[in-house]
Amino acid sequence: MTQENQNLTMWQGEDKTITVSLVDGAGAPYGSTAGLTFTWKVATSENADAALLTKSTGSGITNGTSQITIAIDEADTDDMTAYLRLP
């Protein structure tokens, strides 16, 4: 299930790595994510028309066992407000 309305705080020009643990409907670790694709987005609100930042498998997201890793590079935040805190 997709978790929405998450909080993320970071500075403009900062590198950040986010690790997301994946569980199945019963709450047990998912297992291998090999062959699956994921998309992760940052927006100013859940109803925003455009994402401020998007990462996907092979382009910032690395699959693992029961988790994915999202790599945010400093260049990804160069055009964002100096300090952005998403509610």
Output the six-digit token pair for 13.
């020009």
Q: Is residue 85 part of a domain?
A: no
Classify residue 76 as exposed, middle or buried by CB count within 10 Å of its CB (0-12, 13-18, 19+): buried
In 3D, which of 60, 65, 58, 56 has the Cα closest to residue 75?
A: 60
Number of domains, the chain: 1
DSSP letter string, 16-79: EEEEEE-B-TTS-B--B-TT---EEEE-SSTT-SS-SEEEEETBEEEE-BSEEEEEE-GGGGTT
Q: Is residue 59 part of a domain?
A: yes
| Residue numbers of the domain that contains 28 | 12-75
45-79: pLDDT as tens digits: 778 888 888 999 999 999 988 899 999 998 988 87
Q: Is residue 27 part of a domain?
A: yes
Q: Is residue 44 part of a domain?
A: yes
87: three-class secondary structure by DSSP: coil
4-47: pLDDT as tens digits: 666 777 777 888 999 888 888 888 888 888 888 999 888 777 78
